[in-house]
Amino acid sequence: MLARLSPHANLWLERDEQVVLSRWRVRLLEAIEETGSISGAAKRVGVQYRLAWDRLEEMENGLGVALASKPLVATAIAQGRLVAPFDIAVGQKFAYYLVVPQAVAERPAVQAFRKWLLEEAKAEEPERAG
């Protein structure tokens, strides 16, 4: 008896012969949303961070839409190379720590940098409904 044939298709989008969106790239975007980071997504889909980042840049350039966290694309948005047409944000599941040797922690330059950093972080923090 012959096995039944079933049709399948694979669709991707190209601009100037450069792939800008594919099934794999959609999986990468989903993994970024699920893990909250590019590095976590790269691990999940089984590639190195640099390859994931390169594919995000290709999608950004080819589609004209930022597909990464705001700090990574803030300059491009400020310069008008990109726009944020949707108010969509993915929660971040990581934190940053400012660490310095105890011997220099009280220096005025370190304290000034800490103050500036906290002010910048507060300015970027989304307003919380309350």
Reported confidence tier of residue 28, pLDDT bands at 50, 70, 90: very high
Reported confidence tier of residue 32, pLDDT bands at 50, 70, 90: confident
Both 75 and 116 in a single domain? no
97 SS3 class: coil
Whether the per-residue pLDDT at 130 is higher than 50: the answer is: no
Reported confidence tier of residue 128, pLDDT bands at 50, 70, 90: very low
Question: Does residue 56 form part of some domain?
Answer: yes
Can you give the CATH number for the domain in which 82 is found? 1.10.10.10
pTM of the full predicted structure?
0.55
Q: Per-residue pLDDT tens for 62-94?
A: 876 666 667 777 888 888 877 777 666 656 666
Both 62 and 113 in a single domain? no
Both 53 and 113 in a single domain? no
Supply the range of the domain harboring residue 118: 95-124
With residue 129 as reference, give the H or E element that holds it. none
